Chain A
């Protein structure tokens, strides 16, 4: 018994020694391609975020197997990748974590020569602040944040004033997300959703204080709950990701969503290749497959999220083509009305956002 314990201890010491000597794999400039058999592609993605038929088509086309694993938040995904627990080839992070992943040394620069279909992406979605030059990421699908309603109960105007204006007869739900809620107030005031100016944030805070004090305020919700309330017609308005609401139109076509004319926040999910990917070549082939016009359309036809793929538009289901909230005018991208939720500089701005949110939630 004692000997076994000693042996185990010695083994551990040995490992510690090895570990110290070896450079951490993630910071190595060119991590070796380990164990790639070129036959299995491992993808870390949100649930219900890809059409299973699309996966099957890729498998058949390339004679490979695709393993999909799901996560429920960017943070959980990041924690798992940073821990080095799993060997994924591809991940689908939201735009605001791309830089964090780059800094953590988790991503592999993309090989442009392998991405022939990158030209299909609308120029407005390329070269964004979260990844200048698209060195590490390619846009996958995006969600604008809109105002949802059930037209049998109440049809709102296309303005954030429905929530932030003086009228307090309407019941409403806000997203349970600090950046979305503060971002909406900032957009209503005509500021950037990523502002770091103290006076602009103060104005947003005052606006939000008044909004949550209204008797119509029904609380914060992640989205599915808001959707259910709209289906059940128990609230007038809900702040929601457009895709999360559109999927409910299958059940009741009276639930609708619009984008306020002051503009709104959008969140882009991206495709990235991981530095430790065992099959980077296959990962690139998958990205190029997704960037294909018809495949890009099939993706959105399944998820009801918006596609950044300009070439895919003609192949979208008619039902999706007709929804303005899913296809914001191209001009909105350049006139500052659509803001990607960006990473905040740490320190004061970050603390201000945190403080506003804490105050709202603990009111």
Chain B
């Protein structure tokens, strides 16, 4: 039997979606507005996209954003998957506490995370300076910062993907003669894979969008697109920044749709 949704309910749902997405739509539409301040519609133009790509600071920030997002996703996916598998497979004494620790970076406000990382880095720097080594906040500190919060997302996605399966799957594989490595690569990993990929995509979009943590973790001369956009807001958003935000939204949406497709429960199992 197919249950129909009440029309009022679906109307409400559409309203909620409109409320969520209309502002973004407006932003996208106004990135094609031929007016510097976007208060009134002054005709269609794509010139802001041209202005955007002519800006050296934008190109540089774009490169930084992509480097950080790709590399941090790679690192956090490997580490996060291991954590997720570990939590699924082993009965650990402090399992609840460990899971709690894993959730922490997700629930802690970004500002707390950003400032604590900033202090941590400067503390490490002062220690290293005594040993004669120095480093500047920049690529590496931002990369590390992103990995720290991404690991949680990946680990939790992987764990929840595997939640329905018991450890007996692996035991069965071992009984049938598989080595530890074989049971991992041929049984556990394929099962976990959609979770791993979804986690990776989630991590990627989070890295792409992050402002607060990046702002505090980065040193001088290293900014990413969100940092560039946000610090431009003070004197009013210029339309080229609208164009940039529109592009960022586009990339994020594509990644999220892909993540959703991968997370969809498989019908064949």
Interface residues of A (CB under 8 A from B): 14-15, 18-19, 22, 25, 34-35, 42, 44, 46-49, 67, 69-73, 76, 79-80, 83-88, 223-224, 227-229, 231-232, 244, 247-248, 250-251
Contact = CB atoms under 8 A, between A and B. Distances in A.
Contact of B39 (A22, A69, A79, A229): A229
A22 B130 contact: yes
B39 A83 contact: no
Contacts of A70: 223, 228, 231-232
A248 B36 CA distance: 8
B220 A224 contact: no
A86 B218 contact: yes
Contacts of B137: 85-86
Contacts, number: 106
Contact of A231 (B37, B122, B123, B215): B37
A228 B26 CA distance: 15
25 contacts: A15-B123, A15-B124, A18-B130, A19-B126, A25-B126, A42-B220, A47-B235, A48-B232, A48-B238, A67-B221, A70-B223, A71-B231, A79-B115, A83-B119, A85-B118, A85-B121, A86-B137, A223-B235, A224-B237, A227-B236, A228-B37, A228-B39, A232-B39, A247-B235, A251-B36
Secondary structure class of chain A's binding surface, majority of residues: mixed
Of B118, B216, B220, B231, most buried by chain A (CB within 10 Å of CB) is B220
A22 B220 CA distance: 24
**Interface size grouping (class) on chain B:** 35 or more
A80 B221 contact: no
A85 B233 contact: no
B171 interface: no
B269 interface: no
A244 B235 contact: yes
Interface string B229-247: 0111111111000000000
Interface string B198-226: 00000000000000000111111101000
Given A44-B220, A85-B216, A227 B39 contact: yes
A231 B40 contact: yes
Nearest to A35: B134
Contact of A80 (B124, B125, B215, B235): B215
A73 B233 CA distance: 10
Given A15-B124, A18-B127, A18-B130, A86 B235 contact: no
A34 B125 CA distance: 13
B220 A69 contact: yes
